[in-house]
A and B are shown apart, each in its own frame.
Chain A
Amino acid sequence: GENVEQHPSTLSVQEGDSAVIKCTYSDSASNYFPWYKQELGKRPQLIIDIRSNVGEKKDQRIAVTLNKTAKHFSLHITETQPEDSAVYFCAAIYGGSQGNLIFGKGTKLSVKP
């Protein structure tokens, strides 16, 4: 079945630095890749997503890149701020499914002021 691996599991950066989180997926039929941010005790919130027909997408300080050949995608956060501190999850839609998401194990990002 589908598997999504996410690295690193924890990431600590200084305010203003960039943060990069990487994910790989196993199902070549996957065609949709969202990223969710989850603050402690709160719901996962979509921050950005990318479809397989696009290589890169940006939204202000956040960008996602996709390499379909290598089956990996990455989240880039520039000019990090303390409020970016949270757990970030990547996910992929399992190709043979009804759209259910397969999640990575998460990356706990800490931005130090």
Chain B
Amino acid sequence: DTGVSQDPRHKITKRGQNVTFRCDPISEHNRLYWYRQTLGQGPEFLTYFQNEAQLEKSRLLSDRFSAERPKGSFSTLEIQRTEQGDSAMYLCASREGVKETQYFGPGTRLLVL
């Protein structure tokens, strides 16, 4: 499968714990996006990487959230001190260069108890 992949697919954690998600974009795609999707809503933008540089962050991304893309390939999204309101599907998408089309991964569904 050469599409966008994410790991884990599901995560259940207790409030206050830290969690980390991984995204592997399509190999030739230098642009990577993280979105969050709650039930009954469309995805909401969180942050954007071009190669290894994090160029844009949404106001939704509180200081408990951090994202990295150290070598310009895979990316990680960490949530520290999780809260019940963090429960959502976290989606990663990638695109190639100047082409606008974004391809989504299957998402990581987070449940904070």
Contacts and interface: CB of A to CB of B under 8 A. Distances in A.
A binds B: yes
Interface of A: 4, 6, 32, 34, 36, 42-46, 49, 51, 89, 91, 93, 97-106
Interface string B26-60: 00000101010000111111001010000110100
Contacts of B95: 99
Nearest to B103: A46
- From A6, A43, A91, A104, name the one whose CB has the most chain B CB atoms within 10 angstroms: A43
A98 B91 contact: no
Interface stretch (B65-73, B75-83, B104-112): B104-112
Chain A interface mostly helix, strand, loop or mixed? strand
Contact of B45 (A43, A49, A100, A104): A100
A45 B102 contact: no
B62 to A, nearest CB: 17
Interface of B: 4, 31, 33, 35, 40-45, 48, 50, 55-56, 58, 91, 95, 100-107
Contact of B40 (A49, A91, A106): A106
Given A46-B103, A49-B100, A100 B48 contact: yes
A106 B41 contact: yes
B40 A105 contact: yes
Nearest to A103: B42
A44 B42 CA distance: 10
Given A32-B100, A49-B101, 20 more contacts: A42-B106, A43-B107, A44-B104, A45-B104, A46-B103, A49-B100, A51-B100, A91-B42, A97-B48, A97-B56, A98-B31, A98-B48, A98-B50, A99-B48, A100-B33, A100-B45, A100-B58, A101-B45, A103-B43, A106-B40
B56 A100 contact: yes
Contacts of A101: 33, 35, 43, 45, 102
Contacts of A43: 4, 91, 104-107
